[in-house]
Amino acid sequence: MPAYTDSREAHLRRLRRIEGQVRGLQRMVSEDVYCIDVLTQVSAATRALQSFALELLSEHMSGCVVEAARTGRQEGEAKVQEAAEAIARLVRS
Amino acid sequence: MPAYTDSREAHLRRLRRIEGQVRGLQRMVSEDVYCIDVLTQVSAATRALQSFALELLSEHMSGCVVEAARTGRQEGEAKVQEAAEAIARLVRS
Amino acid sequence: MPAYTDSREAHLRRLRRIEGQVRGLQRMVSEDVYCIDVLTQVSAATRALQSFALELLSEHMSGCVVEAARTGRQEGEAKVQEAAEAIARLVRS
Amino acid sequence: MPAYTDSREAHLRRLRRIEGQVRGLQRMVSEDVYCIDVLTQVSAATRALQSFALELLSEHMSGCVVEAARTGRQEGEAKVQEAAEAIARLVRS
């Protein structure tokens, strides 16, 4: 079972809040709110998504990666390789 | 009227697609989808938000900033200063 | 003449400090300093480069972009377009 | 001994290339090269630093983190926690 099962409710709350921020952006655009204020809200939503990603990644590494490493060095390195690619996508996005 | 009024519909379509991505993330978390796959989807949503921000910023500069500069050098520099702060928030988020 | 001529000395001081940080990284790697400490220093150098870029961009917009907009709307929009592409490269790097 | 000892020469070559890029930036500023071209070079140097960081991090996780996890679950989780903080600094810089 994925590492994040225990904290699933916290993740869902976080994502619902981000969904609310994106709906707030739609309202701002509909109401012709000043661009700079819309951009400030986009930055907030982007940071919230990144924090969610960092939390999920941290749980994944504490769970799946450590578990795999305890099963065998090769298993651990395979999981690390996979996590490293996800980290690269986050850093570059 | 804000510079983005003309392209408002395109912005709203974009934001609705991002809202769909965030709801997709909730579904993935609810269904215990593998963390790495969730993270890939978070990176996609983050990039989509950044593209929206860059588009909005570009329109803002072509519209408000150029207009202000044509009114007066000081007006132009004030709008540039404001835009530069928004850009810094984007680069750092 | 480019907008940044006046502040050239400040920019050069900043870049020399960043060069020092990168040489510091070489020293750390040569001396087998712990990875995590090397990574902390890489983050510091990356942030310093970004701050330099944001400063340069802000000057460019106050100078060249405002000047071009005052010459003509079309000239202003051409400079804005060029700046928007540079901003996109910064946000995505 | 740190995980990156074997690849130390490759890391040093990479960092010397980045140092060359930063010196190139100083030359560009000294010669009043057009801002946008300086910014393009800053983006290249930033991306090079990030790639170095991602490579170092990947090695650290394959080495130290897997090793620690094989010693004990708690040791593994401590190293993961430390790596997660370094990743957060990279994502946010």
Q: Is residue B11 part of a domain?
A: yes
Report, as an integer, the average pLDDT of D44-71: 96
Q: What percent of chain B has pLDDT over 70?
A: 95
**pLDDT (0 to 100) of residue B93:** 84
pLDDT above 70 (res A5): no
Q: Is residue B40 part of a domain?
A: yes
pLDDT above 70 (res A37): yes
Report, as an integer, the average pLDDT of B33-56: 97
Distance CA C43, CA C55 (A): 18
Q: Is residue D3 part of a domain?
A: no
Distance CA A21, CA A69 (A): 38
**pLDDT (0 to 100) of residue A4:** 60
**pLDDT (0 to 100) of residue C3:** 52
Residue of A35, A50, A52 with shortest CB distance to B64: A35
The ipTM is 0.91
Structural domain containing residue B50: 7-92
- Buried b / exposed e along C41-52 (16+ C-beta atoms within 10 A): bbbbbbebbbeb
The number of distinct structural domains making up chain D is 1
Q: What percent of chain B has pLDDT over 90?
A: 90
Range of weakest confidence among A17-21, A41-45, B3-7: B3-7
Q: Is residue B1 part of a domain?
A: no
SS (H, E, C) B2-35: CCCHHHHHHHHHHHHHHHHHHHHHHHHHHCCCCH
Q: Is residue A1 part of a domain?
A: no
* Chain C residues in contact with B80 (beta carbon < 8 A): 58, 61-62, 65-66
Confidence band for D5, pLDDT divided at 50, 70 and 90: low
Residue of A61, A80, A90 with shortest CB distance to D91: A90
Tens digit of pLDDT for each residue in C22-59?
A: 999 999 999 999 999 999 999 999 999 999 999 999 99
Q: Is residue A83 part of a domain?
A: yes
Which residue on chain A is closest to D65 by alpha carbon? A66
Q: Is residue B15 part of a domain?
A: yes
Confidence band for A1, pLDDT divided at 50, 70 and 90: very low
CATH assignment at residue B28: 1.20.58.1000
D25 touches C32 (CB < 8 A): no
Q: Which helix H or strand E contains C2, and what residues bound it?
A: none
In this complex, which chains have at least 3 CB pairs below 8 Å with chain D?
A: A, C
Confidence band for C4, pLDDT divided at 50, 70 and 90: low
Distance CA B92, CA A43 (A): 9
A window 23-82, beta carbon within 8 A of D: 50, 53-54, 57-58, 61-62, 65-66, 69-70, 73, 76-77, 80-81
